[in-house]
Amino acid sequence: MVIVQNTGNIIINVKNVVIVPGTNDLDEKDIKKIRAHPLFNSYEEDGIIVIKEGTKSTKNLNVKEAVNLIQDTYIVKTLEKWKEADSRVTIQKAIDEQIELLTVDKEEKSDDDNYV
């Protein structure tokens, strides 16, 4: 898996590989597939897509980079995987805080949240 960051506010679908805004975890084969598409190259050149080569978790990043990446990650499963791989206290705390932001405690929901 390779970390791919979508810095834009758009969902990108290249060759059936979907890259949502924020941080994504993609297979190496998907990276090769999307890099073969000419449109994708412009996303990369413009900085909309940032591929973190050789980075599979926050463990390989300095604390500041890791925390920034965590705060840009909206997939709880990815955050939980990183938490298992990186034992640094600051990273553990940042992951816990991001997961807390992403999950809704049913008891904290107000009656207004029940309306469609």
Provide the pLDDT for residue 111: 53
Reference 57, options 112, 2, 115; nearest CA is 2
**Per-residue model confidence as pLDDT tens digits over 63-116:** 999 999 999 999 899 999 999 999 999 999 999 999 999 987 655 555 555 544
d(CA 92, CA 67): 10
pTM recorded for the entire structure: 0.75
CB 59 within 8 A of CB 86: yes
**Per-residue model confidence as pLDDT tens digits over 19-45:** 999 999 898 899 998 888 888 888 889
103-109, long-range: CB < 8 A, 24+ apart: 103/76
